[in-house]
A and B are shown apart, each in its own frame.
Chain A
Amino acid sequence: SQKIEQNSEALNIQEGKTATLTCNYTNYSPAYLQWYRQDPGRGPVFLLLIRENEKEKRKERLKVTFDTTLKQSLFHITASQPADSATYLCALVREGSQGNLIFGKGTKLSVKP
């Protein structure tokens, strides 16, 4: 069955470093993948979407890559700041389904000053 996995539950890094989060999926070839940010007690907020024919997408200090051969997306935050501390979720549409956006369990990022 189709699976989406974010291998690291938590990632701790120093301010100014680049944070790299991983999202892997199996048994599926999604046309696109999305990334969201969730702060404690808040709803997830959409950040970026990358399509299968796009190798890389950037938005300010954020960069997302999509490797359809490895079935993996990497989410990078450059020059990280304590304000970037949050849980980051990847999501994709379940194969053969409409409206069924499934989420990974998320990686909790902590940026220490």
Chain B
Amino acid sequence: DTAVSQTPKYLVTQMGNDKSIKCEQNLGHDTMYWYKQDSKKFLKIMFSYNNKELIINETVPNRFSPKSPDKAHLNLHINSLELGDSAVYFCASSPRLASGTSTGELFFGEGSRLTVL
């Protein structure tokens, strides 16, 4: 019973293509995230959704568009892929929105490795 599952695990594509990564969580959490981990292993937040509402959009190019059809799903669509988009993309969820006073430990998926040629 996978808690946070994302597909596909591997994605190899050409520059200029459009691709999507899907994420689903069965933990009943209110908040979901997309993180990008680059070749230097630095994990950087991209988007945060709480109850299907966009909370954070961290200076991500407009080519990246998240979609949350319901609380359990957060998909990531990427248009006009560029070489620099190559990375591992992690979906995560937390019981509540992390804030200065409210803890929100994250549960991560296994990652989707995107390679743009």
Residues of A within 8 A of B (CB): 30-32, 34, 36, 41-46, 49, 51, 87, 89, 91, 93, 95-103, 105-106
Assess whether A45 is in contact with B100, with CB atoms less than 8 Å apart.
Answer: no
9 contacts between A and B (CB under 8 A): A43-B90, A44-B108, A46-B105, A91-B106, A99-B48, A99-B55, A99-B56, A101-B104, A102-B45
Question: How many angstroms between the C-alpha atoms of A93 and B99 in the bound complex?
Answer: 6
Interface residue from A36, A93, A96 paired with B98 (Cβ < 8 Å): A93
Interface residue from A31, A43, A91, A93 paired with B109 (Cβ < 8 Å): A43
B interface, size bucket:
20 to 34
Assess whether A98 is in contact with B43, with CB atoms less than 8 Å apart.
Answer: no
Question: Which B residues between 94 and 114 are near A, CB-CB below 8 angstroms?
Answer: 97-101, 103-111
CB distance from B21 to the nearest CB of A (A): 13
A95 partner residues in chain B, CB cutoff 8 A = 100
Assess whether B97 is in contact with A98, with CB atoms less than 8 Å apart.
Answer: yes
A93 partner residues in chain B, CB cutoff 8 A = 98-100, 104
